[in-house]
């Protein structure tokens, strides 16, 4: 593959992102669902690619591979596994680390809820695996981890686990996880909007009184003119270094630190106990540790406050858009069709458990503003953090409740473990090496701990 072919494949990303945005602006249904342009563009690329359009064309015709070339699909299939490292390396860069007292006060109930739902996804998935998927569909027990990998982790985590799935002999899990992640995001947005309408009508919300208050511009994804702010601060003078270049360098160094840490762990394990367990761990959770280490360094040594969080957010957002579009557009429909029944079972079970977490656990665990705060965890448990933020923005557009602050604090403790953290990364090789039952026992215990603290500690503080 030539550099020109790689470059052309990247140009195509821009084409389909723009197509997705145009469709979002023009189609009222998609506006009401608040679907991101990357998802819309990803589906358009999937339909115009070799798996849909190409199937209906003669093999020797110009469109036998759809509107894509083989080099484009090859490059795109590798992008999700690369972009997820950028997303996770950026999680804590430029973010102030709050005091533990503030974290506990605001994030405690959120953490208990997220912990219960996240570990519960393993309980539901592994139980389905040992009772249904393994005996009746001959799937590996590792399939029990797919709900958490895809729903809590989202497209990025699913893509980041691709090499792990392949090395463990379950390469089809990548396509199943990407498919489940897509179902999760779509269901998260659809069910989220339905729940918000239900919550407003039944006086469950405290901030918003009518979802019709959203302007047409907001539904189309266009920032109102009076609310427009700079995408980031110019913390350095461009004649010395372009600020965007500086922030990209910081993200890249965080990924490199993560890679060095991973190589060190693999080498240490090989020397000490002689196993290869660490070689199955993907890079992205270590990239997150690299980002945290850099942020601690800058917090102590950077007297000029050079790292701007908003600039980091733009880099993270770009990587996530590329990741989602390329992942959806290259998912194997043949694999999903082959495992359609297990796929539907996992998707239905995951959605049902997440709805249970929001409707039953959230109002009993979160003392105040349970709807505004719980809907964020519901969105995250269905797809990615961005989905949770989107739903919170719908019910609390002007940040009048503690939802955003509590959600952000919770991520400091939650992200390193679940939703793409170490637990997510280790779960699949752990099941492969030790079997489903030890993992299920751990998951049940962790879920019970989350529910206990949520109901009997934080829930007792409920005042309204």
The 3-class SS string of 89-123 reads: HCCCCCCCCCCHHHHHHHHHHHHHHHHHHHHHHHH
User: What pLDDT is recorded for position 396?
Assistant: 76
Contact 218, 224 (CB under 8 A): yes
**pLDDT classification of 292: cutoffs 50, 70, 90:** confident
What mean pLDDT value characterizes the chain?
Answer: 85
What is the mean predicted confidence (pLDDT) over 405-416?
73
User: What pLDDT is recorded for position 146?
Assistant: 93
User: What pLDDT is recorded for position 464?
Assistant: 43
Name residues whose C-beta falls within 8 Å of residue 60's C-beta, 6 or more positions apart in sequence. none
What is the mean predicted confidence (pLDDT) over 284-291?
85
User: What pLDDT is recorded for position 458?
Assistant: 86
Pinpoint the alpha helices (H) of 396-454: 403-414, 422-434, 436-453
Tokens matching residue 219:
């539904």
Q: Name the percent of the chain lying above pLDDT 70.
A: 91
User: What pLDDT is recorded for position 179?
Assistant: 85
Packing angle between helix 70-89 and helix 3-26, nearest 10 degrees?
Answer: 70
Q: What is the pLDDT of residues 434-460, one digit of tens each?
A: 899 999 999 999 999 999 999 998 888
**pLDDT classification of 140: cutoffs 50, 70, 90:** very high
Q: What is the pLDDT of residues 151-179, one digit of tens each?
A: 888 777 787 788 888 888 888 888 888 88
**Which of these, 302, 251, 210, 331, lies nearest to 84 by C-alpha position?**
251
Q: What is the pLDDT of residues 218-264, one digit of tens each?
A: 667 677 766 677 878 888 999 999 999 999 999 999 999 999 999 99
Q: What is the pLDDT of residues 17-55, one digit of tens each?
A: 999 999 988 888 887 776 778 888 988 998 998 888 888
- Structure pTM? 0.75
Decide if pLDDT at 186 tops 90: no
Q: How many helices (H) and strands (E) does the chain have?
A: 22, 1
Beta-bridge partner residues of 73: none
Tokens matching residue 25:
């602006």
User: What pLDDT is recorded for position 363?
Assistant: 92
Q: What is the pLDDT of residues 307-362, one digit of tens each?
A: 998 999 899 889 888 987 887 888 777 778 888 899 999 999 999 999 999 999 99
What is the mean predicted confidence (pLDDT) over 110-135?
94
Decide if pLDDT at 110 tops 70: yes
Region of poorest pLDDT, from 53-57, 214-218, 293-297, 427-431 = 214-218
**Which of these, 257, 297, 256, lies nearest to 93 by C-alpha position?**
297
Contact 323, 110 (CB under 8 A): no
- What is the C-alpha separation between 439 and 459, in angstroms, rounded? 28
Contact 83, 320 (CB under 8 A): yes
Contact 164, 351 (CB under 8 A): no
Question: How far out from the chain centre does Cα 243 lie?
Answer: 27
User: What pLDDT is recorded for position 203?
Assistant: 80
Decide if pLDDT at 270 tops 60: yes
H or E, element range at 289: helix 284-301
Decide if pLDDT at 77 tops 70: yes
**pLDDT classification of 208: cutoffs 50, 70, 90:** low
How many residues belong to the chain?
A: 464
What is the DSSP-derived secondary structure letter of residue 150?
I
Region of poorest pLDDT, from 183-192, 342-351, 386-395 = 386-395
């Amino acid at each position: 593959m030539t550099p020109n072919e790689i470059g052309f494949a990247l140009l195509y990303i821009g084409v389909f992102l723009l197509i997705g945005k145009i469709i979002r602006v023009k189609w009222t249904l998609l506006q009401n669902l608040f679907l991101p342009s990357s998802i819309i563009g990803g589906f358009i690329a999937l339909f115009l690619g070799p798996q849909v359009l190409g199937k209906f064309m003669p093999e020797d015709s110009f469109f036998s591979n759809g509107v894509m070339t083989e080099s484009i699909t090859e490059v795109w299939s590798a992008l999700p596994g690369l972009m997820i490292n950028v997303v996770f390396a950026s999680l804590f860069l430029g973010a102030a680390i709050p005091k533990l007292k503030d974290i506990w006060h605001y994030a405690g109930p959120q953490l208990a809820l997220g912990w219960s739902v996240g570990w519960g996804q393993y309980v539901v998935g592994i139980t389905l695996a040992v009772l249904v998927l393994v005996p009746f569909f001959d799937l590996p027990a590792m399939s029990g981890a797919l709900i958490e990998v895809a729903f809590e982790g989202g497209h990025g985590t699913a893509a980041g686990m691709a090499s792990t799935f392949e090395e463990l002999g379950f390469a089809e899990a990548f396509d199943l996880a990407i498919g489940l992640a897509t179902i999760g995001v779509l269901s998260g947005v659809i069910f989220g909007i339905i729940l918000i309408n239900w919550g407003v009508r039944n006086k469950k919300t405290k901030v918003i009184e009518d979802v019709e208050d959203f302007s047409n511009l907001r539904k189309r994804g266009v920032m109102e003119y009076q609310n427009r702010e700079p995408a980031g601060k110019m913390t350095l003078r461009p004649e010395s270094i372009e600020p965007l270049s500086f922030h990209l360098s910081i993200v890249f160094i965080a990924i490199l630190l993560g890679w060095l840490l991973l190589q060190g762990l693999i080498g240490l394990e090989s020397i000490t106990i002689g196993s290869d367990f660490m070689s199955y761990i993907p890079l992205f959770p270590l990239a997150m540790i690299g980002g945290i280490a850099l942020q601690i360094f800058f917090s102590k040594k950077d007297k000029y406050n050079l790292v701007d969080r908003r600039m980091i957010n733009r880099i993270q957002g770009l990587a996530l858009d590329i990741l989602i579009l390329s992942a959806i557009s290259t998912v194997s429909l043949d694999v999903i069709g082959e495992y359609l029944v297990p796929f539907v079972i996992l998707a239905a079970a995951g959605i049902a458990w997440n709805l249970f977490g929001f409707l039953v656990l959230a109002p009993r665990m979160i003392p105040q503003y349970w709807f505004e705060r719980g809907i964020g965890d519901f969105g995250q448990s269905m797809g990615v953090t961005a989905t949770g933020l989107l739903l919170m923005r719908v019910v609390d557009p002007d940040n009048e409740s503690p939802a955003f602050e509590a959600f952000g604090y919770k991520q400091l403790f939650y992200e390193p473990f679940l939703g793409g953290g170490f637990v997510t990364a280790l779960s699949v090789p752990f099941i492969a090496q030790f079997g489903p039952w030890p993992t299920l026992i751990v998951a049940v215990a962790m879920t019970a701990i989350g529910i206990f603290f949520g109901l009997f500690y934080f829930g007792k503080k409920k005042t309204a």
